[in-house]
């Protein structure tokens, strides 16, 4: 035999490197179970999807959402091949909606991406088209502090940990009960300004245009002084976004936005509800600070009106609301066509965070991914696999291992189960036969 032919015969073949333990064409979903963890007022439902080949995939229902949003999908998943990602997503996406109601579909989609990646032996980002970056920038959200100097100190501490982008709350809540800061119709603000729960419930009962709460000039000056005190501590170079302005109308958003322009904020977030495209157009045209919204929007179609109207400078989907990894990648690609960049909202455990990392890695116009729990010492304990701490120098390294790139730490999950849960991935057989005629056409 000629030498060159013998060499070709003995050369390694690509198929020699494919694991035979998983046969993707024969993979089938056999079960869906959940476990709900929580701390303080937060709770998060972890979704586990099992298969006939011993592979399991993990996802997460969005913070504070009902686990039933995922469990109701079980009967529609059993027997499906999880590698048929788009087919299954088209089958179940009708059962999601804006806000927390999209959490079930998104948590299932994450788990399907985890399973498909494990079956094919590739990271989830590869299933989304490959990656544009090897690490994902995190921006650090920071809870309220009573003074700008104290907030500045908190942000400075986060900068010391390597975070290169920050976010803080800047709004009317601290002004409630302070003289001459706000004007409002009687009953629209809480009767007891010290009652934080009452304050939250009152301000979230009506959408912004209907509260008629207004900032006085003194109130605007107070907010500006707060931000000035923050900048005096952290300096002018680090990007700081601002959120939770309170339920005020368009005119007051513009007045406050103009007053805040000297502080060069990275963006003003969720000034008014995302549904009011015309209001966003009015705000975007009036201000010279970028404006941003999107954490409650479900599916690409929900973002399209804002983008077509050029009503925002940054979109801000939460992958646990917006439709999961592949749909959020599509949303980012759509925004890029309009010259709009994408930051990503995230208030979840490392499970949804790592799913977001894969999406961010695969989206070219991505800016930064939110991290909400810098002060929770056990936050990183729920998974193993990625280097610890998971966030290093303000970034998360994009995993190169199959699926979402982690294994579950069941001991840590068990330790933080919420009291009302049935247990760690308890059987959910009551959802097996939940069927209906779901077709949307005749």
pLDDT digits (tens, 9 = 90+) for 22-54: 689 999 999 999 999 999 999 999 999 999 999
Strand, helix or coil for residue 383: strand
* Residue at token pair 């995190």: 138
Tell me the average pLDDT across 10-21. 54
pLDDT at residue 5 in the model: 45
Q: Between 277-286 and 300-308, two packed helices, what is the crossing angle to 10 degrees?
A: 40
pLDDT at residue 201 in the model: 54
Predicted confidence band of residue 15 (pLDDT cuts 50, 70, 90) = very low
CA 425 remoteness from chain centre: 23
Q: Is the dihedral of CA 173, 179, 181, 184 positive or negative?
A: positive
Tell me the average pLDDT across 384-410. 98
Residue 180 CA to residue 178 CA, distance in Å, equals 7
Residue 366 CA to residue 336 CA, distance in Å, equals 9
DSSP string for 130-191: --S-SEEEEEEEE---SSHHHHHHHHHHHHHTT---EEEE-SSGGGTTSTTSEE--TTSS-S
Q: Check if the beta carbon of residue 265 is closer than 8 Å to that of residue 238.
A: no
Predicted confidence band of residue 379 (pLDDT cuts 50, 70, 90) = very high
Tell me the average pLDDT across 163-191. 91
Strands 341-344 and 29-39: unpaired
Predicted confidence band of residue 246 (pLDDT cuts 50, 70, 90) = confident
pLDDT at residue 189 in the model: 80
Q: Nearest-CA neighbor of 199 among 173, 217, 222?
A: 173
Q: Check if the beta carbon of residue 248 is closer than 8 Å to that of residue 215.
A: yes
pLDDT at residue 202 in the model: 57
pLDDT at residue 206 in the model: 82
Residue 165 CA to residue 368 CA, distance in Å, equals 8
Indicate if the pLDDT at residue 14 is higher than 80: no
Per-residue pLDDT tens digits for 258-294:
999 999 999 999 999 999 999 999 999 999 999 999 9
Per-residue pLDDT tens digits for 53-107:
999 999 999 999 999 999 999 999 999 999 999 999 999 999 999 999 999 999 9
Residue 385 CA to residue 406 CA, distance in Å, equals 5
pLDDT at residue 205 in the model: 73
What letter would DSSP give residue 292? E
Question: Of 171-180, 206-215, 262-271, where does the model show the most confidence?
Answer: 262-271
pLDDT at residue 7 in the model: 46
Average pLDDT, the chain: 93
Neighbours of 204 (CB within 10 A): 9
Q: Nearest-CA neighbor of 38 among 17, 70, 60?
A: 60
Residue 417 CA to residue 370 CA, distance in Å, equals 24
Predicted confidence band of residue 144 (pLDDT cuts 50, 70, 90) = confident
Predicted confidence band of residue 136 (pLDDT cuts 50, 70, 90) = very high
Does residue 137 have a cis bond before it (omega within 30 degrees)?
no
Per-residue pLDDT tens digits for 297-349:
999 999 999 999 999 999 999 999 999 999 999 999 999 999 999 999 999 99
Kindly list the structural domains of the chain, giving each domain's residue range(s) and its CATH number in brackets, ordered by start.
26-120+420-431 (3.30.390.10), 135-405 (3.20.20.120)
pLDDT at residue 422 in the model: 86
Residue 24 CA to residue 405 CA, distance in Å, equals 18
* Residue at token pair 């599916």: 299
Phi-psi region of 177 (alpha: psi -120 to 50; beta: other; left: phi over 0): left
pLDDT at residue 16 in the model: 53
The secondary element (H helix, E strand) that includes residue 214 is strand 214-215
Question: Using alpha carbons only, how large is the chain's radius of gyration in Å?
Answer: 24
**Which of 193-202, 308-317, 410-419 is the least confident region?**
193-202
Tell me the average pLDDT across 125-133. 98
Indicate if the pLDDT at residue 21 is higher than 60: no
Indicate if the pLDDT at residue 2 is higher than 90: no
């Amino acid at each position: 035999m000629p030498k060159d032919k013998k060499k070709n015969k003995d050369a390694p073949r690509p198929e020699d490197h494919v694991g035979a333990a998983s046969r993707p064409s024969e993979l089938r979903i056999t079960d869906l179970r959940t476990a709900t963890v929580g701390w303080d007022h937060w709770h998060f439902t972890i979704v586990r999807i099992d298969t006939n080949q011993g592979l399991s995939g993990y996802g997460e229902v969005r913070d504070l959402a009902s686990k039933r949003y995922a469990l109701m999908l079980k009967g529609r998943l059993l027997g499906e091949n999880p590698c048929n990602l788009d087919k299954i997503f088209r089958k179940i996406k009708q059962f999601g909606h804006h806000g927390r109601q999209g959490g079930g579909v998104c948590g299932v989609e994450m788990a399907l991406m985890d399973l498909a990646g494990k079956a094919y032996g590739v990271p989830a980002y590869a299933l989304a088209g490959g990656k544009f970056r090897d690490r994902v920038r995190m921006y650090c959200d920071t809870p309220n502090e009573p003074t700008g100097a104290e907030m500045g100190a908190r942000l400075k501490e986060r900068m010391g940990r390597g975070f290169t982008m920050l976010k803080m709350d800047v709004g009317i809540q601290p002004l409630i009960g302070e003289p001459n800061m706000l004007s409002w119709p009687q009953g629209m603000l809480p009767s007891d300004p010290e009652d934080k729960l009452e304050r939250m419930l009152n301000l979230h009962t009506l959408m912004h245009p209907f509260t008629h709460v207004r900032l006085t000039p003194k109130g605007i000056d107070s907010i500006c002084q707060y931000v000035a005190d923050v900048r005096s501590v952290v300096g002018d170079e680090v990007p700081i976004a601002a959120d939770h302005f309170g339920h005020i109308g368009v005119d007051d958003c513009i007045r406050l936005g103009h007053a805040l322009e000297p502080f060069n904020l990275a963006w003003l977030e969720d000034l008014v509800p995302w549904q009011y495209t015309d209001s966003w157009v009015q705000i975007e045209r009036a201000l010279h600070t970028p404006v941003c919204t999107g954490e409650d929007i479900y599916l690409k179609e929900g973002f399209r009106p804002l983008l077509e109207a050029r009503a925002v400078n940054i979109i801000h989907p939460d992958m646990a609301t917006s439709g999961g990894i592949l749909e959020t990648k599509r949303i980012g690609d759509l925004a890029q066509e309009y010259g709009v960049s994408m930051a990503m909202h995230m208030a979840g455990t490392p499970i949804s965070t790592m799913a977001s990392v894969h999406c961010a890695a695969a989206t070219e116009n991505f800016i930064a991914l939110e991290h909400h729990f810098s002060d929770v010492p056990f936050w990183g304990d729920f998974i193993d696999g990625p280097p610890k701490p998971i966030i290093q120098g303000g970034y998360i390294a994009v995993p190169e291992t199959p699926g979402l790139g982690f294994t579950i730490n069941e001991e840590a999950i068990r330790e933080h189960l919420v009291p009302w849960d049935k247990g760690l991935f308890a059987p959910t057989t009551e959802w097996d036969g939940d069927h209906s005629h779901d077709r949307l056409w005749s």
